Amino acid sequence: MWYYFYMDKDVVYIEPENDITDIIAKIEGSKQKIIALVPPKKAGVFRSVVNIKLITKAGVSSGKKVVLVTTDPSIMKLAATTRLPVAKDLNSAPEILKPETESEEAKEEEASDEVAEKETETEAEPEAESEDEDKDEAENEDESEDDNKGKKSKEKPKKERKESKNKLVNWVLAHKKISIFSGVGFLALILLLVWAFVLAPAVTIIVGIRTVSNNFSENVSFTSNLTEEKVEEGRFYYEEKKIETINEVGFEATGQKNVGKKAEGSILVSTYFEYNKAGSIVLKDGEAFSIRGLTYYSAESVGLAYNGRGKEDCDNKDDAASLINYGCQVSAKVKVVAAEPGSQYNIPASDTGWDTTANVGVRSKDPMTGGSDEMKTIVAEADVEKAKGEITADNEAEMKKKLYETIDTETSLIIDSSLTVSTAEAISTPAVGEEVGEGVKPVLKAITTASVYVVDKTKVEEFIAKKANLGEGMKIYKMDNPFVENFSKTDEGVIGKLKTAYSTGPKVTENDVVEITKGKGFGVAQHDLRDIDGVIDVRIDKSYPWVTSVPGNANKITVVLEVKE
């Protein structure tokens, strides 16, 4: 049975103010079969042999093994006189010490106990003799009776037992409800006890751990090529996360445009060449000609060249000076089209008033015709400028919030210093100058783009843990969110500085706490946990007042590790 001293025992720490009645109450109230009493350094209650005997007697009467855990010679000596087992510590095997010399007080008490035992035996013997005599007399009386009477006397107890049984059955039948309720109540009591002492007990163990704060700062680099990633060297693969938002506003178009037909016609262009000298002028397609503020463009390319005529073709100007001054005139007819639609371009023939940048004379022998008017609504530049004042693009803070909401920050580390937010020039649909269809409302749109780079958070934390150079038996309990400063793209690559703060402490896991404490009394469990270097506080919250030990079922143990810097 002492094998279980190493496992299932109730450790009771005796306080200096406890008296013998308190100790006996603790023994009788314990749920364990083995009780380890741990006296304090100054415990007067253990200096009396009478008290030691009372403790031994309390253990015997309650069916429990009581062990004194002490190395105090005086207490051990008294325990030996009553054969009370003693253990040097909670992990040592108990043993019954041999008394060296019995004190006078112990001898007197032992003698008085022997006298009391003899007196008890003496009193018991006459009673036994009287009982035997009564029995013999009864037997003699039975033998003196005739056979008939003896038969009846044997049958009488059977009849009485049968009647008693029938009475019980009749009572149960007559009180069915009471019987049923009694049975249900008994079953409920059993279920309640099972729940209270088997299912309900649970504890929460709060372990306070002392930690030390540390700062981390390391230059790192980044690559957009996954195959070039080298986490152990501080080179991380990064990828871009991007979102776009479109902000738009509708507006009214107020511009007008004539979409009628353009007037057409022809003009006569001419020039002079010096007699007997070659020369030419080419009028390209699109050459502009204007009259009274109206502009027409040539619809074809026309060339004017000296044709080698003699002086007889030069309007009787036969002297050399006149030929030089006037030359020979060369003319050509050119087809033109009005610059815009409109009836105002329909004009009569005119020999004067024409202007052009070309070095030719211009006149028209035929009118310009075919121009017509048809007005349509279009988007004017003023309409767009007005709408720009009404459209509101998301600012940088709003875009940052929207972008970060799309990123899983549990697995990705956002490089804040790489964030960019830009808004493109607003675009009108239809564009400026374009016709607006009937029932159509123009829209002005502005596209805002936000982008940021992210890296694998797990790899970053692994890199930090490796660089931290933790000692044996130490671990990181808390790490602030890492961040990257001075993110920039240089000729040598993409670089930045990785920073964070973290707390280190002794390596204690929730599973460690469970394995150390399960099945132990609260006092022992707290003592064993406090023996761990770095554990500064242990508290045990129990589910119900009657729970006195940590459950043996790990599922009923909740562990909370409190990091205290």
Task: Classify residue 388: in a domain, yes or no.
Answer: no
Backbone angles phi, psi at 154, to 5 degrees: -75, -35
Residue finishing a domain among 373, 406, 432: 373
Would you write out the chain's pLDDT as a tens digit for each of its 565 residues? Answer: 454 455 578 888 888 878 888 888 888 888 888 988 888 877 778 888 888 888 888 888 888 889 988 888 888 888 888 888 998 888 888 888 887 654 444 444 444 444 344 444 444 444 444 444 444 444 444 444 444 444 444 455 655 565 665 666 666 566 666 666 666 666 676 666 555 555 567 889 999 888 888 899 999 999 999 999 999 999 999 999 999 988 889 999 999 999 999 999 999 998 877 655 667 888 999 999 999 999 999 999 998 887 665 545 555 544 445 544 555 677 889 999 999 999 999 999 998 899 999 888 899 989 999 999 999 999 999 999 888 888 777 788 888 999 999 999 999 999 999 999 988 888 999 999 898 988 889 999 988 899 999 999 999 999 998 888 777 778 888 888 899 999 999 888 899 999 999 888 888 888 888 988 888 888 898 888 888 888 888 999 887 777 888 888 888 889 998 877 7
Of 373, 397, 412, which marks where a domain is finished? 373
The answer to the question of residue 408 being in a domain is no
Of the residues 53, 78, 101, the one at which a domain ends: 101
In a domain, 228, yes or no: no
Structural domain includes residue 545? no
Does 442 reside within a domain?
A: no
With CA atoms as reference, report the closest residue to 409 among 478, 477, 482. 482
Tokens representing 401? 């919030």
This prediction's pTM: 0.45
Dist. CA 246–CA 15, nearest whole Å: 76
Residues 6 or more apart whose CB falls under 8 angstroms from that of 202 comprise 542, 543, 547, 551, 556, 557, 558
- What's at 110, amino acid-wise? E
User: Which token pair is 122?
Assistant: 């003496």
Angle between helices 49-61 and 73-81 (to 10 degrees): 60
- Whether residue 77 is contained in a domain is answered as yes
How many domains does one find in the chain? 2
Would residue 160 count as lying in a domain? no
Residue 334 sits in which domain range? Answer: 260-373
